[in-house]
Structure 1
Amino acid sequence: MNFSELFILAIGLSMDAFAVAVCKGLSMKKITLRKAALVGLYFGFFQAVMPAAGYLLGVNFQKQITSIDHWIAFFLLGAIGVNMILEARKGGGCEECGCAAADADLSFRTMLILALATSIDALAVGITFAFLQVRIVPAISFIGIITFLLSMLGVRIGNAFGSRYKAKAELLGGMILICLGTKILLEHLGLLRL
């Protein structure tokens, strides 16, 4: 996986966290750099840790399923992408993502639940990293940094503009993941050469 593919994947994965960060920003009367950074750290950390866990799981099964690894990557990324698109099409506001009930609460428990919920799909991506033999440390570091930055931006946008970008972020993230999964499949089948 080259740098541009990793960048696109990081953007796609971070869209759930971005959407929830927008909701958090919406619920805050006044945001500070500290609050935005705290949200970014939670989401960035878990978006980095979950692919690492998935990678460790995938490495254990890599030898048994090498011949179909590209299909697994295609289906996992596609399923995650379709799920994100379906969530975006529901058109719900921030009450859908669970952060409206939490208000501007940045407690450990609240942020832990939100960070875990938004990073489950990153676990599946980590499994595909093992099959694609991605260098995991640079990959998860990059994903964590991108998610951190976009989450901070999401808090700012949410505070300034409200929840109208949540569905668009999830839709974009879903489309990115589906396209990336399709690209991986087509490359491994020899139908696409870039």
Structure 2
Amino acid sequence: MSFQLVSTIFIAVALAMDAFSVSITKGFTQKDLIKSQIFYYGLFFGFFQFLMPLLGYLCGSTVASLVSAVAPWIGFILLLAIGLNMIRESFGDEEEVTDKFSFKEVTLLAIATSIDAFAVGLTYAFLGSEILIPSLIIGVVAFLFGICGVFIGRKIGNYFGNKFQIVGGIILIIIGVKILLGF
């Protein structure tokens, strides 16, 4: 397995941690979810995690040639900021959640948990890397984590919630350092 594929999988897992944490919380607070609603959590999280890197890449590729000399620093700073923000958020209060399933809420949660993926797409553009396969991997991992999170939340509740964001933040920072050092 190539280092780029392994890095992409680690990025996908790190980005999916927010969705996973939210899904665990939803599984804990929405005991009456039916299978199709659980599927929607995975689908929405996966779709937005797939879409946002593409959008970030499209925005970033228009200026990539202008910043190619500082691309490693840009990648490092973006991933460091995202990682530190994820770690910081893990120590905050749990989000207020409702007891009933809502498409509006699922959409907002999916968008909110995929903002970091936009910045990752920018990073891929600045580095001149391919984006479609990484976006697909990111989306599939978020889809699976979203579904698994709801099921786990239904079983064990909200005990671990924000701790998964810490792991995701650390992984992003490590990958940022790797980009900066050129490994």
TM-score range normalised by the length of the shorter chain: over 0.9
TM-score, normalized by length of structure 2?
0.94
Query: Is structure 2 residue 45 aligned with structure 1 residue 43?
Result: yes
Give the share of equivalent positions with the same residue, in percent.
41
Displacement after TM superposition at 1:152 (Å): 0.5
Displacement after TM superposition at 1:168 (Å): 1.1
TM-score, normalized by length of structure 1?
0.89
- Counterpart position of 1:159: 154
SS at structure 1 position matched to 2:61 = helix
CA contact (8 A) 2:64 2:128 kept: no
Give the letter for the 2:100 counterpart: A
For residues 111-160 of structure 1, give each alpha carbon's deviation from its aligned partner in whole angstroms, at most 9, with x where no partner exists. 11111111111111100011122221111111000000011110011111
Structure 2 CA distance, aligned partners of 1:73 and 1:113?
Answer: 27
Instruction: Specify which of 98, 104, 107 is matched with residue 100 of structure 2.
Output: 104
Structure 1 CA distance, aligned partners of 2:18 and 2:59?
Answer: 23
Superposition map of 1:69-108 within 5 A: 69-90=71-92, 92=93, 96-98=94-96, 100=97, 102-105=98-101, 107-108=102-103
Equivalences, count? 181
- Counterpart position of 1:141: 136
CA contact (8 A) 2:68 2:127 kept: no
Structure 1 CA distance, aligned partners of 2:83 and 2:166?
Answer: 8
Structure 2 unaligned segments of length 5 or more: list them.
none
